[in-house]
Amino acid sequence: MTVKGIIAISGKSGLFKVVAQGKNNVIVESLDDKKRFPAYATDRISALEDISIYTYSDDKALIEVFEAIFDKENGGEAVSHKEDPAKLAAYLEEILPDYDQERVYPSDIKKIFMWYNLLVKAGELKKEESEEKVEETKAEEVKEEKPKAAKKPAAKKTTAKPKADADKPAAKKPAAKKAAPKKEASKEK
């Protein structure tokens, strides 16, 4: 599961996917309505992959929280972010029991559930194969390809003309023009 290239822009609701990068801005596409617009350096942009949640022991990456919600909901949507803040806090406590209740505000909890539901609706959150399985399948593919990729010995290069050219008559070269013979001046005096 990855949220690479998905950002949040301060002052704008929803999430955005980075589509292209310009000289002084990035072009983003809204996950809600698929509208594109530029986001400038003056906008406060946060990449979802860089966001983490405060816990009493160590900070937890937001993607790990999304994975826990995804597993609990079997890939479906979670509770709405418009629910009672106490209900949202209780749900988050089921997912992440040691989150820091003093530093994680109700508005932060609302964003977590709003963003999760947006990502599920947009089809951006999908359970991927574990990295070990992916590496194993790649290794198996490489083993299968090796026997097929047997190389033939390289042909020897020769400088002789091909046989087909040897049978053709040589092209005639235009004859060089002969200079006219000089007339000897007669000595008749």
* Numbered ranges of CATH 1.10.10.1650 in the chain: 51-122
pLDDT 10s digits, 37-94: 999 888 899 999 999 999 999 899 999 999 999 999 888 888 888 899 999 999 999 9
pLDDT 10s digits, 3-49: 888 999 988 888 999 999 988 899 999 998 899 999 988 889 999 99
Architecture of domain 51-122: Orthogonal Bundle (1.10)
On the CB side of 108, how many CA atoms lie within 13 Å of its CA? 14
Q: Using a cut of 0.85, tell me whether the model's pTM lies above it.
A: no
Architecture of domain 6-48: Roll (2.30)
d(CA 130, CA 64): 14
